[in-house]
Amino acid sequence: MGDIVRHNPERKLSDAVEYNGLIYLAGQVAEQLDAGMKEQTEDVLRQIDALLAKCGSSKSRILTATVYVNDMTLKPQMDQAWLAWVDQANPPARATVEVQLGSPETLVEIMCVAAKA
Amino acid sequence: MSDSIKRHHPGASLSRLVECGNLVFVAGTTADNKSANCKAQTEEVLKKIDRLMDEAGTNKSRILWCNVWVSDIREKEQMDAAWQAWVDPDNKPARATVESRLATPDTRVEIMMICAK
C-alpha cells in the first residue's frame, strides 16, 4: 500500500499515517505521567511537534484536534499550555471532552489531523 | 470541486458508512450481542466493520485513523486482544482509546474510523 505512509508502527497502532495530503496522528499521551496537567500537555504537544516534523508538516497546518482530559476542572491548565504553543495565526478546530484515559495518572490525550506542508 | 458522496445504510439519524472522494468514513459501530464481554463485542464490531469496508471496496489494510471507546478502561486489554488478532500487522492505523459512557449500559465498545479507498 505504497500510497499510505505509516510512521512508528508499534504493536497495536501507528503513531502517524499520511495519505493524500493529510496526516492522521494517533492519540498522544505524556511520557512523564507523574507531572501535572500543564506539564503533561506540554509533553504531548512536544510529541505532536516531533511527529508532524517527521511527516513534513508543523503545528500551523493542524486542521482539527480532539483533546481528552480526565478531569474537566483541569482544563484551564491544559489551555494554558495549548495557548503558549498553538500558532495564533493558524489555530485548528478543536474539541475538549472529559473521559477516562489509559491509566489513572494519564491526565490528557490529544489526537489531531494536519495537512502536509 | 465536488466529489460525489455515497451513503451506505442511511437511517433516520446516520449512515453506517459514507464515501467521499478517496476516503471512507465508518460510523461508530457497536455489537448486537450486548451480553458478550468486551473481547467478544470487539470481535463482532470488527467483523461488522470488515463487511462495511468491503461494501465500499476497501479493507482493513487501508485504515488511516481509528477511535475506540470502551465503557470501562480496565477492559481495554480485552479490546486490544481482539484488535491485535484482527489488525493487518503491516498496516496499523493511528488510533486512540478512551473510556466513555456509551449508548446503553451493556455496550462495552464502540469503534469509528476513517479509511482510504
β-bridge partners, A65: A94, A112
- The answer to whether residue B1 scores a pLDDT higher than 60 is no
Provide the 8-state DSSP code for B60: G
pLDDT tens string A14-44: 999 999 999 999 999 999 999 999 999 999 9
Give the pLDDT confidence score for residue B2 in this predicted structure: 72
CB A8 within 8 A of CB B93: no
List all residues 6 or more positions away from B33 whose beta carbon is below 8 Å from its beta carbon: B40, B41, B44
What would the grid cell of residue B11 be? 437511517
Query: Mean of the pLDDT values across residues A54-66?
Result: 96
Interchain pair B94, A12: CB under 8 A: no
* Cβ atoms < 10 Å from Cβ of B70: 26
Interchain pair B91, A100: CB under 8 A: no
Provide the 8-state DSSP code for A90: S
Interchain pair A17, B95: CB under 8 A: no
Sign of the four-CA dihedral B38, A64, A58, A68: negative
Query: Mind telling me how many Å the CA of B1 is from chain A's nearest CA?
Result: 16
Interchain pair B99, A24: CB under 8 A: no
ipTM: 0.90
Interchain pair A20, B100: CB under 8 A: no
Give the pLDDT confidence score for residue B105 in this predicted structure: 94
What would the grid cell of residue A39 be? 506539564
Residues of B in contact with A72 (CB under 8 A): none
Provide the 8-state DSSP code for A15: S
Interchain pair B76, A20: CB under 8 A: no
- The answer to whether residue A2 scores a pLDDT higher than 90 is no
CB B6 within 8 A of CB B54: no
pLDDT category, A66, cuts 50, 70, 90?
very high
Query: Mean of the pLDDT values across residues A2-6?
Result: 92
β-bridge partners, A112: A65
CB A32 within 8 A of CB A44: no
- The answer to whether residue A11 scores a pLDDT higher than 90 is no
- Among residues B14, B92, B39, the alpha carbon closest in space to that of A4 is found at B92
CB B33 within 8 A of CB B71: no
Give the pLDDT confidence score for residue B3 in this predicted structure: 75
Q: Considering the entire predicted model, what is its pTM?
A: 0.93
Among A1, A24, A102, whose Cβ lies nearest the Cβ of B62? Answer: A1
- Among residues A15, A24, A19, A26, the alpha carbon closest in space to that of A5 is found at A19
β-bridge partners, A17: A6, A24
- The answer to whether residue A1 scores a pLDDT higher than 70 is no
Please tell me if residue A16 touches chain B, with a CB cutoff of 8 Å: yes
pLDDT tens string B79-111: 999 999 999 999 999 999 999 999 999 999 999
Query: Mind telling me how many Å the CA of A46 is from chain B's nearest CA?
Result: 18
Residues of A in contact with B84 (CB under 8 A): 11-12
Query: Mean of the pLDDT values across residues B31-46?
Result: 98
Give the pLDDT confidence score for residue A10 in this predicted structure: 86
**Residue pairs spanning A and B at CB distance below 8 A:** 76
